[in-house]
Structure 1
Amino acid sequence: MGDPLEVKPLVQPRKVEELGPEAKSYKGYKVSFKNQEARRVVSVAFSPATPHKLAVVSGTKVGLWQSAPSKDGTLEETNSISKFKDLTQCVAWRDDGRLMLAGEASGSCAVIEMETRSILRRLRGHGDAVTCAAFAESDKSRVATGSKDGKLRLWDVATSELLQTVDAHSDALKVLSAGPVGADSWITAGYDKCVKLWDSRSPSKEGLDDEKAKAAISVSHDHAVEAGVSFPGRALFASAGGTAVKVWDLAMSGRVLHDLPDIHSKVIMGICLDSQASALVTASFDGLSKVYNTVTMSHLWTYRLPGPASSIAWCPDDTGFVVGLEDGSWLLRSRKVPIQKKPLETGQLAKPKRIHRVDGKGQQKDDDEWAPHLAFEGISGSISGGFGRSIPPPPPKLVH
């Protein structure tokens, strides 16, 4: 007689957590457009001003794209700027969309008028590639550039005058953003793992023009910083480097508000916010893009990419976001806005609906489904019976 069979408990099915409305909204972003560039996509950026043109940086060209008028969720290239003498490293839009900064590997930064796409002037002075640039928050003529040599330079666009040079970082400067205190405040971050806040109104003992000027706030990200983004008001700043994201409160001496360690398996290359700063989106070399709630820092959704990411940008109107990839391709994820159907008003004609029916001889015919010519109180539309027959409702009372 054989051994008794051991009775094992049945494996219970795994309970799948139901998605909340916030997570469902990000699930709706689907790939609607793809494009291939000749070189690696270094940077992507949307214009803050309508119609929110997209700038794609690849090789010695900056391509300009906008929504195709005939197709939803697709883009068309309207123009391109290729008047650069070396590889383009970064772009930055002014808040009115009229000017753009484009950093070059040669060490200069081009100031471009977007209406004519002509280079107004070149800001020269860096000894290495210009890796980041930004316009001041309140003064449209003030800009800043950051370089691979770690130096921060402040400029007057109107005159091309170099206002100040700061030895900001001991390694390459990768992130540059306007600070919370007007045109004299700047946020920088780089490969030396530091995030710094600068205020040119408070010179150091060595003087304002000395490269040894000290930062108002300096904190460590613990990894080389690849990307960063400022929250509205500029008091909060999110830095991305290594596999971690940290959110800093610069109004409170740079204390850490949120720390998200190891949220990716490889280096995070890009980070951005939606228009309401309610969601933080990352793009990583591991081929994933993730969405987090900025209040609770809970994970909302994950997108799988075709390959390692190099950059990311969110459209200001929340219709989609673009991810640049290492292989030179980039893609747009967008969501369809549902068409809101207005209810019929009293006395309004109702549109008949096309239906298929089969007659007594077995022949298929297309008919317009019965619909009342007027909208009545409580009734709008028709009632269909079985096998394609239309059954009219009882005579309703016409509303005068």
Structure 2
Amino acid sequence: MSAYKPVAIPSYPKLGEKITQDTLYWRRYKTPVQIKEFGAVTNIDFSPEQPYNYAVTASTRIHIYGKYSQEPIKTFSRFKDTAYCGTYRGDGKLLAAGCEDSVVQLFDISGKAALRQFIGHTKAVHFVDFTADKFRIVSGSDDYASKIWDIPNGIEISTYKEHTDYVRCGCASKLNDDLFVTGSYDHTVKLFDARTEKSVMTMEHEQPVESVLLFPSGGLLVSAGGRFVKVWDLLKGGQLLVSLRNHHKTVTSLCLSSSGQRLLSGSLDRHVKIYSTTNYKVVHSFDYAASILSLALAPDDEMIVVGMTNSVLNVKHRKPEDKKPSQPKEKKHPRYRMFVKGRNYRPQSDDFIVSKPVKKHLRKYDSLLRGFQVSAALDAVLESTIVNSTPEVTVAVMNDIERRGTLKNALAGRDEKQLSTILLFLMKHIVDPRFAPILLNVAEKVTDIYSTVINQSPVVDKLFLKLQDVLEKEVNYQEELLEVLGMMDTLFATMARKKTTISKETKPTSIPEDKDSMAVQSSS
């Protein structure tokens, strides 16, 4: 008798997300820690200095959290109304924030009371930031104005009133002491130079601007508003480089990784998208339970902190990479040299090589099929470990049993539990186009065998009804797809006919010669 050939398991294309290096990297962020705040979390800002504490602005408070603390290690609550945009200075020693009562406050991280209060705006101040020289503060307000404040003297230096709507976001350059950017609900982003009296550049975002971000090099600017994230080249006069539309609702926040190679955006659609800054394609995404208002990434990329509308702060820490300890090499006995002629030895032409036959180990279902135990082989591939991880193995064994002509025998004579397992597998995979041709045949045989005993078991009866419902839904879905396909074929045929007619009408015709020209030609 010829040797047994194991069941050939066909390889199917893998469904779902494509696994890339970015996928593996961002999946290393552990299960999040949920912290309940007093109100919607409108801003998160990390300290640029270790240990990288972060300030969370929510309601009338600014809480300072440590890297692993679930309770605030410090709180600033000297606000009469809602606080906005708690932001660290470059050295991590001072913190500035705006407020609904139009006052900009400056705090010392080691103290509690405000060091300075800058009064000059007439409406809520939603954005504050420190300039690169650390001695000035830039602010933007709902009174359409942007102001620059002097920290040592506590006075206003200059005011810009070029926006025609609320100024809700902005940022200062980390390289140039005098450059800063503001974004407004008038759909524009403006670049200002503190040495001039007017803006030096204006970009039309075409949506109310919710967040702006300058790249570390200072040459690129990112703006977010509506469903769009747009990247501008400041070195080319504010030229639009790319417009991204990967969110379904308003984009509210932006941040960059420490290397500047990944851009993150958070939105009211509960998603955080991660883009590569080389081609601006989405390389990964995170899903959250509520709409996202604020987003921040730690300077060392070890934490992602997200603030949501349901007053929850979501904190994810990245797992450290597993470093396998180097195992010491086993010392070889001196006799080893007498039997092996070195590690790099290659057989010579006059050497006689004795090859040991490799013994093939069969899988459990192959061993059972080899012994013609088709029912037991089917039971072996219906185990939960195989069904859940590799359903293609189960389908391949069913197909092999059908090829042998013994599928009906393998399915017959089963109790309620075994039959339920088969029906559950059919319900889950029968509409999968990869398995449908085989499983439809299996479902037909199961129905023929057990149609007389359906009413005897309520469990089996319920599973048969569910299987029938799955098949009916799939049939209706296919009918709808065929209708849509017919409509599209008609539409394409009509468009092709119109193009043919237009091309015929526009085809140039030969111009008849007039009689005078013909007479001149004949006389000549």
The separation in 1 between residues aligned to 2:31 and 2:185, in whole angstroms, is 32
The separation in 1 between residues aligned to 2:302 and 2:59, in whole angstroms, is 27
How far the C-alpha of 1:38 sits from its partner, in A, is 1.8
| More strand, by proportion | 1
Instruction: Please say if residues 101 and 133 of structure 1, whose CA atoms lie closer than 8 Å, have aligned partners that are also in contact.
Output: yes
The separation in 2 between residues aligned to 1:47 and 1:23, in whole angstroms, is 27
Could you state the TM-score of these two structures normalised by the residue count of structure 2?
0.59
The separation in 2 between residues aligned to 1:173 and 1:31, in whole angstroms, is 36
5+ residue gaps, structure 1: 1-11, 69-73, 204-213, 345-374, 380-392
The separation in 2 between residues aligned to 1:278 and 1:90, in whole angstroms, is 25
* 2:260 paired residue number: 277
* 1:39 paired residue number: 39
* 2:190 paired residue number: 196
Could you state the TM-score of these two structures normalised by the residue count of structure 1?
0.77
What one-letter code is carried by the residue in structure 1 that aligns with 2:48?
P
Q: How does 1:327-342 map onto structure 2 within 5 Å?
A: 327-342=310-325
1:314 equivalent to 2:266? Answer: no
How far the C-alpha of 1:15 sits from its partner, in A, is 4.9
* 1:158 paired residue number: 152
1:129 equivalent to 2:113? Answer: no
* 2:135 paired residue number: 141
Q: How does 1:317-396 map onto structure 2 within 5 Å?
A: 317-343=300-326, 375=328, 377-378=329-330
Instruction: Please say if residues 35 and 70 of structure 2, whose CA atoms lie closer than 8 Å, have aligned partners that are also in contact.
Output: no
Residue of 101, 106, 111 corresponding to 1:106: 101
* 2:240 paired residue number: 256
How far the C-alpha of 1:65 sits from its partner, in A, is 0.2
* 2:52 paired residue number: 52
Q: What number of residue pairs does the alignment pair up?
A: 327
The separation in 1 between residues aligned to 2:330 and 2:213, in whole angstroms, is 52
* 1:235 paired residue number: 219
The separation in 2 between residues aligned to 1:302 and 1:273, in whole angstroms, is 14
Encode CA deviations 1:241-288: one digit per residue, 9 max, x unaligned: 100100111121001122112x11111111111111111111111111
How far the C-alpha of 1:342 sits from its partner, in A, is 4.2
Q: 1:292 to 1:62 in 2, by over 3 A?
A: same
Instruction: Please say if residues 22 and 284 of structure 2, whose CA atoms lie closer than 8 Å, have aligned partners that are also in contact.
Output: no
Aligned-partner SS, 1:233: coil
Name the Cα RMSD after superposition.
Answer: 2.3
Q: Percent identity?
A: 30
What one-letter code is carried by the residue in structure 2 that aligns with 1:258?
V
Larger radius of gyration: 2
Q: How does 1:279-318 map onto structure 2 within 5 Å?
A: 279-318=262-301
Encode CA deviations 1:361-397: one digit per residue, 9 max, x unaligned: xxxxxxxxxxxxxx5x446xxxxxxxxxxxxx97999
Encode CA deviations 1:290-349: one digit per residue, 9 max, x unaligned: 1111111111111110111111111111002111000111101221012434425xxxxx
Instruction: Please say if residues 174 and 216 of structure 2, whose CA atoms lie closer than 8 Å, have aligned partners that are also in contact.
Output: no
How far the C-alpha of 1:31 sits from its partner, in A, is 3.2
Encode CA deviations 1:15-46: one digit per residue, 9 max, x unaligned: 55642212321122233311111211111111
The separation in 2 between residues aligned to 1:251 and 1:303, in whole angstroms, is 33
Encode CA deviations 1:50-101: one digit per residue, 9 max, x unaligned: 1111111111110110123xxxxx6442111111121101111111100110
* 2:493 paired residue number: none
The separation in 1 between residues aligned to 2:48 and 2:175, in whole angstroms, is 20
* 2:67 paired residue number: 67
The separation in 2 between residues aligned to 1:32 and 1:395, in whole angstroms, is 55
5+ residue gaps, structure 2: 1-11, 337-524
What one-letter code is carried by the residue in structure 2 that aligns with 1:113?
D
What one-letter code is carried by the residue in structure 1 that aligns with 2:37?
E
Q: 1:378 to 1:131 in 2, by over 3 A?
A: same
Encode CA deviations 1:118-144: one digit per residue, 9 max, x unaligned: 31010110000110011011x111111
| More helix, by proportion | 2
What one-letter code is carried by the residue in structure 1 that aligns with 2:107?
I
Instruction: Please say if residues 188 and 196 of structure 1, whose CA atoms lie closer than 8 Å, have aligned partners that are also in contact.
Output: yes
What one-letter code is carried by the residue in structure 1 that aligns with 2:169?
V
Does 1 or 2 have the higher relative contact order (CA < 8 Å, sep 6+)? 1
* 1:115 paired residue number: 110
Aligned-partner SS, 1:23: helix
Instruction: Please say if residues 142 and 183 of structure 1, whose CA atoms lie closer than 8 Å, have aligned partners that are also in contact.
Output: no
The separation in 1 between residues aligned to 2:102 and 2:215, in whole angstroms, is 29
Following TM superposition, the consecutive aligned residue runs of length 4 or more in structure 1 with deviations greater than 4 angstroms are: 12-17, 393-397
The separation in 2 between residues aligned to 1:220 and 1:56, in whole angstroms, is 31
